[in-house]
A and B are shown apart, each in its own frame.
Chain A
Amino acid sequence: MKTLGFGFLLLLAGASLVAQAADGNRPLLERGRYLALLADCQACHSAPGGQPFAGGYEIHTPMGPIVASNITPSLKYGIGSYSEAQFGAALRQGKRADGANLYPAMPYTAYRGITDEDIHALYAYFRQGVAPVEQAVPPTPLPFPFNWRPLMSAWNGLFLGPTVPPTEGAGKRLDQGRYLVDVLGHCGTCHTPRNALMAESDGSYLGGSAVAGWYAPNITSDLVSGIGTWSEDDLVHYLRTGHLEGKGQAAGGMAEAVSESLRHLDEGDLRAMASYLRTVPPIHDPRQSVQRSTFAGRPQPPTGLEPLLDRHPESLASSDVLDGSRLYNAACASCHQIDGAGTANQFYPSLTHNSATGDVQADSLVMAILQGVQRSTNSYRVAMPAFADQLDDGQVAALGNYVLQRFGNPALRISVEDVAESRAGGVQPLLIKALPYGAMLLMLVLLLAGGALGRHLWRGRSA
């Protein structure tokens, strides 16, 4: 009895220690969970329908698909064996625990600015707050030369600079906003165009960029090309819901960011992001003379909009029409309405006064038609159906051009080839178009550059 009682007491003591430890840890774990949301880790490190952070999601890059890794604390398949220093190196330097390089699909060039304190909280969360998933992910099948990971050392030498110091004289709120936008939120990953070697170009910071077929627009403070006319409230509302009446709706990667990350953020953090974004130096696009959401559409008399059709069975079955107005009335008008004004409550948004129809490129319009829109907010879910299976490239071009002509920027034109390119995942950068001819040359250049940088650093150290 006595022994049993003593053992029971010990057991109780042990249990209460664990409980205490867990209690003491709770704020840290909670902070880590929130930071993981901010950094949107889940968006890439969870496969659709898969378990959180178990990896397996294919990130489509111009180089080919990169498979996101399992970042649960599984010892065998995840990051269970990582020390905090190794965890920090993965996030900030793109280095795996085994010393291999990560691909910059992992936004370590942004994460390099994460503070030690936040690394500590994230580490605690990924060690203790995430359930281990004992499941391997398929290997990343990149073609040569990109499958040669040491290549990234040279790339890192060129592009993984030091962390950006806080802006001189900027207030705490702006600092916080910049940290959220540039570091954890890694907004530039999509919104800053990339140079010939796929690094973000410093001179075009947040100036708008093509991403996997979509166009991530200019979000600098420029009054015409950017979001200089958006108020802080507008920005907060958009970040939280991906929907701003008369301005635009988030689709593609931005819808993913809203659904997985932004909608969960504290009001204060969203406000800090918004106020910082409003200070980003304007970049004006000379192609643009009016703001992208100002196009009001051109009214058309209802007569002739919907003619009676031939009722012959073969005509009723034939779906090869290339008339944009007929395609619009049949495929789009049930929701966006025949005049493009959307529904009264704008749940089905207007195509007039819409960034997707009024920007300098129509990529996002084409992609929304092909892939639809899927977005979750905290109070409703948006689902525009995908039309990739229902319309061929010529029909998407005809439909898109009708929308641009009637509701958006009439100066834009979508070609059949544009649609084919979007369907295939977007414009290929020169780096890829040059493959395979330039592959060897490119590697040599990078190695030489890396070598030169190494010598430079060596001299710096010995001096």
Chain B
Amino acid sequence: MASEYDADVIVVGSGALGSNAAFELARQGRSVIILEAGEHIPRWKIVENFRTSPRKDNFNDPYPNQPWAMTSFTPGYIDNTGSFDLLPGMLKLVGGTTWHWGGATWRYLPNDMKLNSVYGVGRDWPIGYDELEPWYVRAEYALGVAGSDTDDQSGQGGAAFPPRSRPYPVPPEADTYYFQRLRDRIGSDYHFIHEPNARTNQPWDGRPACSGNNNCMPVCPIGALYCGEVHARHAVEAGARLLTNATAYRLETGPDKRIVAVHYRSSRGDDVRLTARYFVIAAHGLETPKLLLLSEVANSSDQVGRNLMDHSGIGLQFLADEPLWPGRGQIQQGGIFNWRDGEFRRRHAAIKHTPTNKVPNEAVTRRLLQAGVTSPELDRRIRHDSARWVDISTVFEMLPHAGNRVGFHPHRKDALGIPTLRVNYDVDDYVKAAREVALADYRVFVQRMGGEVVTDDTGWQNRDHLMGSVIMGHDPKDSVVNGECRCWDHSNLFLATTGVIPAAGVINPTLTGVALSLRIADTIAREI
């Protein structure tokens, strides 16, 4: 018997979140269509684009930036009206933005999820840590996360925390010399915590072990770093249909407020309407609210696109008094978590400092050339400075504010005639108060490493962690989705995006997004 629907479930977006939801639904026997705005490009092609790129520091340069699948890197695609230019890394191809990411796969702490109840600021999650924990485990096993089962990830130097029902699937990788030396010299009262990460260090799900190419961004040349493309392929193998060059631009509502169809467009001129019982929008933290706003759905609370949060950050670069050999091994290994949780959160944002372990030669050389250093001194200095370069990347916990928002641009459009993005973003006082604390830490780091400061005043920086834009909550009046990530206004519309996260903490939100997506898949599978 032919179904009256094109599929049981349509998933919009083939990134890590959409692909995991799609695979789980297909695995459980549901018919699934995945819509992807970009194309399916094999890894070797991206690697070729990178190898032959003259702009190796531009993380988007190896990826096609088609006028019909524009990304944040297209000048003008995101029009900023606030005091801060929010320009997060964003890719449109099968696998999504996890083609280039740091691979950090932290869990939130129980207190992160009840920020308001415990510290009286921001919002609470409508679900608790214990409720999400089983899906954290599944997400970690899907991604092959390497992590420490003994660290206190709350950064207080205590016993293993937060609680977990299963060990990490992969043990942590060995510490790099850079990380060891920084910890040895700075770490007496600063707690260095190993960063759980999706760079598997033993073969996992067809992926090889990380070999320290130090190239997670812009592309892992061997596919050790997890990419959503893995589960897009698994979903297809499990029977899902993956449609590429298919940009969803409208969700159609039926008489009973259920979503009945999604409309997509391609660069070939197709304009297609597809029907399904359920819809999962996994189209990125900025594009998901844009699609809802364009479709005039899910917004009875007027919160769609509001409460936008990034972990707006700052950075510190200095030259240590000894060679540390940054760039050997993984691009990042952990961080200093003293300010992850505590009473201070009543007054200022939580803080995470991460020593970045990227190969620094380019930044070093650029700086020396700007200072007018020439050969033969230039060669000597490149060697000298590259060995001693320390880069600390700091992130802060933002709070949700209705005025920080994303929407569609009133008149700018992409090649398909779909409006581009407009963002208004200001860094709040909660973060600004924490900046002073971070700068005090910087002075200690530099002093303990005998450092010569390159810069300790970078200004606010993008951290590409988009949250809050389709906020989750207890109350349909002030939130877009409930604790299941189901839209209050439409019982068959789920949002699989980190945009649902209502309290940002200081950790990279991708793992939480995948856990929520797997939970969405289970919820839908129960109802179909």
The answer on a CB contact under 8 Å between A319 and B42 is yes
Question: CB distance B47 to A381 under 8 Å?
Answer: no
Residue of A327, A385, A389 near B208 (CB, 8 A) is: A385
CA distance A307 to B52 in the complex (A): 7
Q: Determine the residue in chain B with the shortest Cβ distance to A338.
A: B51
Indicate whether A170 reaches chain B with its CB closer than 8 angstroms: no
**B222 interface residue (CB < 8 Å to A):** yes
Closest chain A CB from B220 CB (angstroms): 9
List, in ascending order, chain A residues with CB within 8 A of B51's CB. 306, 329-330
0/1 string, B35-54, CB within 8 A of A gives 1 = 00001011111011101111
State whether A330 touches B44 (Cβ < 8 A).
Answer: yes
B65 at the interface (CB under 8 A from A): yes
Whether A317 contacts B206 by the Cβ 8 Å rule is no
A335 to B211 Cα, complex, angstroms:
9
Q: Please tell me if the beta carbons of B222 and A335 are within 8 angstroms of each other in the complex.
A: yes
Decide yes or no whether B63 CB sits under 8 A from chain A.
yes
Number of interface residues of B (CB under 8 A): 33
Q: A317-B39, A385-B223 are in contact. Are A330 and B48 (CB under 8 A)?
A: yes
Residues of A close to B62: CB separation below 8 A:
316
Q: How far is the CA of A329 from the CA of B63 in the complex (A)?
A: 18
| Cβ A308 vs Cβ B49 within 8 A | no
Residues of chain A contacted by B49 (CB below 8 angstroms): 309, 316
What is the chain B residue whose CB lies nearest that of A307? B52
Shortest Cβ distance from B225 into chain A, in angstroms? 12
Q: Are A309 and B52 in contact (CB under 8 A)?
A: yes
**Do the beta carbons of B64 and A306 come within 8 Å of each other?**
no
The answer to whether A299 has its CB under 8 Å from any CB of chain B is: no
Asked if A65 is at the interface (CB within 8 A of a chain B CB), the reply is: no
CB pair B48–A309 under 8 Å, yes or no, is: yes
Closest to A376 in B: B203
A390 near B43 with CB under 8 A, answer: yes
Shortest distance from the beta carbon of A250 to any chain B beta carbon, whole Å: 15
- Distance between Cα atoms of A313 and B208 in the complex (Å): 29
Cβ of A326 and Cβ of B48 under 8 Å apart? yes
**Which residue from B44, B64, B203 sits with its C-beta under 8 Å from A317?**
B64
Closest residue to B205 on the A side, CB-wise?
A: A383
Q: Which residues of A contact B61 (CB under 8 A)?
A: 311
Q: Is B213 an interface residue (CB 8 A)?
A: yes
**Is the CB–CB distance between A385 and B207 below 8 Å?**
yes
In the complex, which of the residues A309, A327, A383, A384 contacts B44, with contact meaning CB atoms closer than 8 Å? A327
Q: How far is the CA of A329 from the CA of B206 in the complex (A)?
A: 21
Cα A317 to Cα B91 in complex, Å, equals: 13
Which residue in A313, A327, A391 is a CB contact (below 8 Å) of B64? A313
Closest to B55 in A: A311
B528 to chain A, nearest CB (A): 26
Residue from A313, A374, A384 within 8 A of B65 (CB atoms): A313
Q: Answer yes or no: B150 CB below 8 A from chain A CBs.
A: no
A307 to B61, CA, bound (A): 16
Q: Is the CB of A386 within 8 A of B52?
A: no
* Residue-wise interface mask of B (194-222) relative to A, using a CB-CB cutoff of 8 A (1 in contact, 0 not): 00000000110011110101000000011
Interface residues of A in 368-391 (CB under 8 A from B): 372, 374, 381-387, 389-391
From A329, A331, A383, residue with most partner B Cβ within 10 Å: A383
Q: Is the beta-carbon distance between A306 and B52 smaller than 8 angstroms?
A: yes
What range describes how many residues of A lie at the interface?
20 to 34
Complex Cα gap A330–B61 (Å):
16
Let me know if B300 is at the binding interface, CB within 8 A.
no
Q: Which residues of A contact B54 (CB under 8 A)?
A: 308
| A-contact 0/1 string along B136-175, CB 8 Å cutoff | 0000000000000000000000000000000000000000
**In the assembled complex, B412 has its CB within 8 A of some CB on chain A:** no
Q: A308-B52, A334-B222, A385-B206 are in contact. Are A313 and B47 (CB under 8 A)?
A: no
Cβ of B233 within 8 Å of any chain A Cβ, yes or no, is yes
B39 proximity list for chain A (CB < 8 A): 317
Contact A334 B48 (CB under 8 A): no
Contact partner of A386 among B64, B206, B221, CB < 8 A?
Answer: B206
Do the beta carbons of B222 and A390 come within 8 Å of each other? no
Contacts of B42 in A (CB 8 A): 319, 389-391
Q: Are A384 and B208 in touch, CB under 8 angstroms?
A: yes
B52 near A390 (CB under 8 angstroms)?
Answer: no
Asked whether any CB of chain B lies closer than 8 Å to the CB of A98, the reply is no
Q: CB-CB < 8 A to A168: which residues of B? A: none
| Interface check B66, CB cutoff 8 A | yes
Check A202 for interface membership: any CB of B closer than 8 A.
no
C-alpha spacing A386/B208, complex, angstroms: 10
User: In the complex, A387→B176 CA distance in Å?
Assistant: 31
User: Which residues of the partner chain B approach A307 to less than 8 Å between Cβ atoms?
Assistant: 52
Expressed in whole angstroms, the minimum distance between the Cβ of B32 and any Cβ of chain A is: 19
CB neighbours of B43 from chain A (8 A): 331, 390
Q: How far is the CA of A221 from the CA of B102 in the complex (A)?
A: 51
Max chain B Cβ within 10 angstroms of own Cβ: one of A308, A327, A385, A386: A385
A329-B222 in contact (CB<8A): no
Which listed residue, B44, B65, B206, touches A331 by the CB 8 Å rule? B44
The residue in chain B whose Cβ has the minimal distance to the Cβ of A319 is: B45
Contact B44 A390 (CB under 8 A): yes
Smallest CB separation, A369 vs chain B (Å): 11
- Partner of A316 from the list B64, B202, B208, B222 (CB cut-off 8 Å) is B64
A348 to B53: give the CA distance in the assembly, Å.
25
Interfacial chain B residues near A330, Cβ < 8 Å: 44-45, 47-48, 51
Asked if A117 lies at the interface with its beta carbon under 8 angstroms from chain B, I say no
User: What CA separation (Å) do A353 and B39 show in the bound complex?
Assistant: 39
Nearest B-chain residue to A372, judged by Cβ: B206
Residues in B with CB closer than 8 Å to A326 are: 48
Shortest beta-carbon distance, B288 to chain A, in Å?
24
Query: For A374, what are the chain B residues with a Cβ–Cβ distance below 8 Å?
Result: 203
Interface contact B206-A316, CB-CB below 8 Å? no
Q: Is the CB of A381 within 8 A of B66?
A: no
Q: Is the CB of B202 within 8 A of A317?
A: no
Q: Which of A329, A330, A348 has the most CB of B within 10 A?
A: A330
Q: How many angstroms from the CA of A384 to the CA of B208 in the assembled complex?
A: 6
Contact (Cβ within 8 A) B48 A381: no
A354 to B77, CA, bound (A): 50
- In this complex, the member of B64, B66, B211 whose beta carbon has the largest number of chain A beta carbons within 10 angstroms is B64
What is the distance, in angstroms, from A19's C-beta to the closest C-beta of chain B?
Answer: 33
Cα-based distance from A313 to B415 in the complex (angstroms): 14
- Shortest A271–chain B CB gap in Å is 30
Contacts of B52 in A (CB 8 A): 306-309
Closest to A308 in B: B52
Q: Which residue of B lies closest to A312 (CB)?
A: B64
Contacting residues, chain B, for A389 (C-beta < 8 A): 42, 233
How far does the alpha carbon of A139 sit from the alpha carbon of B338 in the complex, in Å?
59
CB A449 to nearest CB in B, in angstroms, measures 44
CA–CA, A39 and B93, complex, Å: 47
Give the residues from 476 to 505 in chain B that come closer than 8 angstroms, CB to CB, to chain A. none
Q: How far is the CA of A260 from the CA of B65 in the complex (A)?
A: 46
**What is the distance, in angstroms, from A412's C-beta to the closest C-beta of chain B?**
23
With the chains together, A319 CA to B47 CA distance in Å? 11
The residue on B at minimum CB distance from A318 is B45
Residues B373-431 near A (CB distance < 8 A): none
- Residues of A at under 8 Å CB distance from B? 306-309, 311, 313-314, 316-319, 326-327, 329-331, 334-335, 347-348, 372, 374, 381-387, 389-391
Residues of B within 8 A of A (CB): 39, 41-45, 47-49, 51-54, 61-67, 93, 202-203, 206-209, 211, 213, 221-223, 233
A-B CB contact pairs (8 Å), 26 listed? A306-B51, A308-B52, A309-B48, A309-B52, A311-B53, A311-B61, A313-B67, A314-B66, A316-B62, A317-B66, A319-B41, A319-B42, A330-B45, A331-B47, A334-B213, A334-B222, A335-B211, A374-B203, A381-B209, A383-B203, A383-B206, A383-B208, A383-B209, A385-B206, A385-B207, A390-B44
19 additional A-B residue pairs with CB within 8 Å, beyond A313-B64, A316-B45? A306-B51, A313-B65, A314-B64, A316-B63, A317-B41, A317-B66, A329-B48, A330-B45, A330-B48, A331-B44, A331-B47, A334-B221, A348-B211, A374-B203, A381-B202, A383-B206, A385-B207, A385-B208, A387-B44
Q: Which 7 A-B pairs have the closest CB atoms?
A: A383-B203, A330-B48, A331-B44, A334-B221, A390-B42, A313-B64, A317-B64
